[in-house]
Amino acid sequence: MYEINNPDIIYNKIVNLLRDKMSFYINGLEDNDPVQMANEIIYSNTFYINSHEKVTYKDSINWVDTSKGRTYLRYLNSQFFIWKIIKAYQVTKDTTYLEKGLDIIYDWIEKYNNQYDNKIAYHKETTSLRMNVWIGFILISVNILGNEKLELLAEVMKDTAKLLANNEFYLTNTNQGMFQDIALILYSQVFTTDENVDYYIKLAYNRTKNYLDYIYTKEGIHKEHTPHYHYLVTDIIHNMYEIFKDDNYERVSYMDDLYKKSLKFSYQIVKPDGTIPQIGDNQPSKIIENEIISNLYKDDYFLYAITSGEKGKTPKEDIVVFKESGYAILRDSWQKKKEALYILFLAAQNSKTHKHSDDLSFLIYKGEDIVIEAGFIGYDYDDMYTQYAYSAYAHNTLVVDDESSLYRFDYNKKEKEVYISDYDTKFDKPYVVGVNKRYEDVVHKRTITYEKNNTTIHIKDEIISKNKHNYKLLFNFGKNIKFNNEEIIKLSNTNKEIGLVSIESSCEYKKNIYWGELALDLNENQIIYPIISSQLEKEIVKNENFKGWNFPTRYEKEKNMVLEIEVNIDSFILSTKIILY
């Protein structure tokens, strides 16, 4: 028989850490009526999982319905929705919610307990997040439902802890592995009589330290190529420090140092409109609308950035380069608030996790999005639009021989092949130089120079090879941007001229323009771009005309204009000038 002492005290102590990632992912649903949502779950078998449509099951829940997609199943099997049931009980004190919640949990246990080969039920991150849900549930329920009803759940949680501690199940140097360790630490706070608790605590803290030492650059930037995860992991380590500093200061003190070091990137990366730039697996969400991120720091510079200058204090540096991490951010002035010019340059080869094929890509914003990235549309890797979003065609970069062959997971060399080689942030023409050596016999060198006095951005691309190739340099423009053969940039919604694009090349080139070209008709054994290495077994079909799409939300497709410069040669130089009025 298990024993939990002071469950209410433990719950209040660790609840923020229990719900941390869940709160990030269902942000926006938190404002919905928890009682209504819980009623739909327990009385109508209707589930609203994140931004997916509501799903109603006629009989019992189909936990492995692949027709709903990989992302939906991860959320469903994480059992995030149980938090709504817990909240409904806390609001109404009606124990029916807890009883029905336990029925749902036991339905899953009856079908999938110990079926570790089931990659849906026992996805590694899903398993740890489900453990957190169960910890929260048992802490709330133990004094209501009693030990006997919860005995099976406690036994399954004990087995799950053993699984999370198993190094063969552990995902080293990933945020998923970190969530496994957090679940172990939280489990050990609750089940103090488990004979393995001391081992779990030591193991989990050691693995967490190793992960954090690896995953943050010396500049305090999380390596996974998505600022969302920079905020998420930073919030978690800040919570861990605050929760456990009195119990285990020696084990968590370094987390506070890392938290403080992360601040500069956290506010510098924010666009003038207060959104997270749409790079990697990011969605362009407003930070001020995310309760967790917006309260991550008590800092006036951060507050200024996320409120577009309405609150806080103006940051001192308009131009910053994080050379080791591979990010350069150039602004005309923070004081221009939402109307400021913002250029983000990417030469960040730090981790394959959440990485897209965006080497030496860049974004431009000035009052609205001028040059964009396609963004993120989910983790359903068999979906053609998801494949497109990860490919080089969805970014402002170089494609060699029409293959988009720089797969985001293919980082084999110890030395960086993509990096910032030089920069200067002083005077009136700051510049940054990035190099991409990932192609087998091609070197791409890109220099971006910003002329402050006339709002001109110069993009110089130097392509060097001993062999002749087909090269395509792509420039994806925002949804309201159009231009004609005279190369005048206009806003398509007002026909107002806002700038000029001019191109000079050391050789003849062809200019192609695309606008939301349709996808190819592929069979199940064909793909346009492999996101995970196992997809290399399928036939990769060239997608020359599948261009001009971006994804403003996770499940929304939007057309945009793409300018493509095509050259057939060995080496050449292309100079692109963008003047913004």
- Residue 72 pLDDT: 84
Q: Would you say residue 28 has pLDDT above 50?
A: no
Q: Which residues contact 177 (CB under 8 A, 6 or more apart)?
A: 124, 170, 171, 207, 211
Same structural domain for residues 560 and 432?
A: yes
Domain with residue 52: its CATH number is 1.50.10.100
Same structural domain for residues 566 and 446?
A: yes
In a domain, 296, yes or no: no
pTM exceeding 0.75: yes
Q: Would you say residue 410 has pLDDT above 80?
A: no
In a domain, 237, yes or no: no
Burial of 539 (0-12, 13-18, 19+ CB in 10 A): exposed
Q: What is the rounded CA–CA span in Å between residue 547 and residue 288?
A: 32
Q: Which residues contact 515 (CB under 8 A, 6 or more apart)?
A: 548, 559, 560, 561, 562
Strands 539-540, 526-527: pairing is parallel
Structural element, H or E, at residue 206: helix 197-215
**Average pLDDT of the chain to the nearest whole number:** 91
- Residue 358 pLDDT: 94
Q: What is the rounded CA–CA span in Å between residue 275 and residue 296?
A: 15
Task: Report which listed range, 80-84, 248-252, 369-373, 524-528, is most confident.
Answer: 369-373
Structural element, H or E, at residue 421: strand 418-424
CA 187 to chain centre: 27
Q: Would you say residue 24 has pLDDT above 60?
A: no
Q: From 194, 215, 236, give the residue that closes a domain.
A: 215
Q: From 215, 235, 250, give the residue that closes a domain.
A: 215
Q: What are phi and psi of 314, to 5 degrees?
A: -65, 125
In a domain, 187, yes or no: yes
CA 529 to chain centre: 19
**Residues 450/331, Cβ–Cβ less than 8 Å:** no
Range 430-458 average pLDDT: 96
Q: What is the rounded CA–CA span in Å between residue 78 and residue 76?
A: 5
Six token digits for residue 171 = 């995902």
Q: How many helices (H) and strands (E) does the chain have?
A: 16, 23
Q: What is the rounded CA–CA span in Å between residue 556 and residue 538?
A: 27
Three-state DSSP class for 578?
Answer: strand
In a domain, 277, yes or no: no
In a domain, 272, yes or no: no
Domain with residue 494: its CATH number is 2.70.98.70
- pLDDT tens digits for range 340-368: 999 999 999 888 888 899 999 999 999 99
- pLDDT tens digits for range 175-210: 899 999 999 999 999 999 999 999 999 999 999 999
Q: Would you say residue 27 has pLDDT above 50?
A: no
In a domain, 490, yes or no: yes
Q: Would you say residue 29 has pLDDT above 50?
A: no
Overall number of domains in the chain: 2
Q: Which residues contact 446 (CB under 8 A, 6 or more apart)?
A: 360, 433, 434, 435, 436, 459, 460, 461, 462
- Residue 483 pLDDT: 76
Q: Would you say residue 167 has pLDDT above 60?
A: yes
Same structural domain for residues 507 and 395?
A: yes
Q: From 159, 193, 215, give the residue that closes a domain.
A: 215
Same structural domain for residues 348 and 478?
A: yes
Residue 385's pLDDT band (boundaries 50, 70, 90)? very high
In a domain, 51, yes or no: yes
Range 82-89 average pLDDT: 93
Residue 128, domain extent: 7-215
In a domain, 86, yes or no: yes
Q: What is the rounded CA–CA span in Å between residue 574 and residue 576?
A: 6
CA 145 to chain centre: 38
Same structural domain for residues 173 and 43?
A: yes
- Residue 58 pLDDT: 83
Q: What is the rounded CA–CA span in Å between residue 193 and residue 197?
A: 7
